[in-house]
Structure 1
């Protein structure tokens, strides 16, 4: 790694298999893992890796943050139809960040095998745990309803997340 390389040059210097692996992580919305993988492969500074991964999000046309759930099932179905691979399943999965837990609505693709984030359901921060507002977690129910409706619309199986994170 040459000091002062910009994100584009850093990307171009990577071997093809590393670029493919990082692009798969970007497509599945796994930004931090993509940055870590790039840093391990290149030895570049963290900031340069973050810039390069942000560039891959732009180049691939992947939103940098999961969108809030669209109002209707047809909008989600259209997003799945436009994906670069064949969807084989719709599922929901718990995930979290520094603000707390949320549920992702995912389209699972056959080739390359990856999960693409379609929407994120979050109904508040984890302060709800301390004030007794959860469980039940309303985002699990909302994501499950959206996922079932989408899977039915597309004729795909649906695999829901559990009712609670963890």
Structure 2
């Protein structure tokens, strides 16, 4: 189903909810709204993802701004954690729209996963990596995780 076909098949109320979610940058909830809209046959996941991308382009001037992810803002988020971090950790993740670089704060003790501080979804990783390094230096903690090469495709990894 093309994005146009899916859009015209959606009830008007569903279209309004999809656009409201897209403007809030809640893409997964927008996809859920389309899949649960009552359109028969139920739209496929890829069709919904494609329409969400199209609606994001159309509504680009109305999207809520991304939260600031500069060093000062992230240092404030780190200071608000229950304990000072002992390290920062970078990790690659992927979603339906591409690669994400996630920055987390590792707290003392066996707390499990790092507390998320920021994430970037880009193709140029120089600025996010520099921000993470500067933040680690400011906090006086090590920065662990991937280097400057970007995400490594699964077939290029060695075991």
Structure whose alpha-carbon radius of gyration is higher: 2
- Structure 2 length normalisation: TM-score? 0.48
